[in-house]
Structure 1
Amino acid sequence: MTCNALPLPISETAILTARSFATQQPTREKAEKVLLNTLSVLTVSYYLNLMGVSTDVNVGDSWNPVMRLSTDVADLDVPGVGKIECRPASINEDFCYIPPESWGTRVAYVVVVIDECLEEAKVMGFVKGCSTEVLHYDELLPLEGLVEYLEWQKLAQSTLVSLSRWVSGVVEYGWQTVESLLENPQLRPVYVFRSVEAISGDTVLKETEAHSVRRAKLFDLGIQIANQPVILIVEITPQSDSKTSVRLQLHPTGAVYLQPSIVLSVLDESLNLFLEAQSRSADNYIQLQFSGEVGERFSVRVGHDGAYITEHFVI
């Protein structure tokens, strides 16, 4: 991965800022850490600005004197997207240290190697998520993919479906009750004979909890699944432990079975695969279930033969 690193100059202004922050620290070791953290943040900010991505260094914890003193932080805010962790690393090693306090709270983690003369910084690459203290260079994605990933994240943020608002009756465009969607006979699965509640002894399309809320949306992947749209049903059930149960079901339209090899996936906030189910030749539906806390984000992807449709949610 080192051969793909992008070298960038370190400006005098960046050095002055980093040294100013460093002089506020109580020990030499802490001062050195803050110096490198600050230069890493400014390097990534410089790179993103060159690529047309706006950043705001002033709102990050790394620009807060109290947070710099009490934590090992190197965050950079990208408006409309979230925070990136910009971690300094040594050219003499093949890994980077990622503080546990940053795990799961960043949209990306970028590794930067700064030379001893403070003249040049090499941006090594990035990862979308991290939950380990040791991040090896060979785990990094190429830097050229970072801007596209951030643009995708920004789009995802702007199209979030809020499940908590469903409870109060606020539903985003395109989502409707299961009953209203299935009023159209052409969309109703063939195994639903008389009503949306009758399914061979199961309660697949029937609300099982009095306080559950369910909504449905039609997904059309076109010719990839023989022009057969599918119905995604999302059911949320608040639980006593402040968590919310989320159940996802994918149903066929106008047929008994789903087409084989349709994939229903749940991605976490960093777009890493969390859960997945795939239809077989005789599946009426496929289902995934998990729980999360209010404010937690995830994405649902429906795909077949290389074609995907993704919806982004916040609990």
Structure 2
Amino acid sequence: MSNIQEKLAFTLTIDGKMINIAEKFSNMHHAQKSQEVYLNVLAILAFNFYCQCMEIETDLDKSYGLDGIMPHLINTATLFIKDKGLLECRPVIPKQEFCQIPSEVLSERIGYVVVEIDEDNRQARILGFVESVESEKLPLNQLDSLRDFLTYLHKLEPIKVKEYASNPAGIIENATNRINEEIVKLSKWFDGILDNGWEANLAIAKSISPVETSANQETGAAKFIHLKHPSEPLLLILRQTQLSSNEVEIVLRLYPASESIFLLDGIKMALQDDQDKIIPQLEKQSKASNWLQLKFKGNIGDKFGLKISLEEDSILEKFVV
């Protein structure tokens, strides 16, 4: 192991700012998940520091590991490299000989880097990288060097953001405006009852608490959305936090649900009131975006709709708080 480190490692100090960020995100999760998120965040921040030293442009806002919702759903530590794509930064602890690669990140990545997190000495060592993985167990002695990583990144073709043509043949004719009349009862989620296509296996654990307080109950779920446009499906995530006996904070996020990094340009998500009128302050449109978010508060019994659209094609989901 020491030979690997001498040959490949880039060592840096884990400073107080990194620790504070990692603690902030880990505190959003229950105890079992907290340490996983803590190490994932440190791995991302450590490799982001390396990228800064190498003048490689990154975007932390598009990095799934530094996201308030995605770590609830999957074990990911992803750093977005500008114009290249998503790079998985997997943490290990000292004396490990293998790195575990979660099954959910075995694909859709431009590569994998391994970062040793030494909490006792407050150091991070970037051990090396591989372009791809075929199993969930990666031997550290199979890592390529960081020099190889820089060569690989330089040769990697820039990603292309998919754009939606103004009038692609056959799309407008087939466009529909679908309304799901079955109202989703969000209050039931706090009792573990999901309905209307919201998947239980993607539900956010109810025991997760916000950073500010441990008294608020939180729950969430995800649903796949299929517009009629022949493109990748979308993943809609809804998280709600009970602020009081009568008030709930709701966060809605829309992600691409396949290997695409970005949403198609022009996809919109808009909140509607109980009269089916769009609320201007709660309307977002994608442009080189890998997710969209709406955040608002509601009272028990409030009704609202969420309209997801692309040109003439739309889907309307209805909810009651």
Bigger radius of gyration: 1
State the TM-score, normalized to the length of structure 1. 0.49
Larger fraction in strand: 2
The answer to which structure, 1 or 2, has the higher relative contact order (CA under 8 A, 6+ apart) is 2
TM-score (norm 2): 0.48
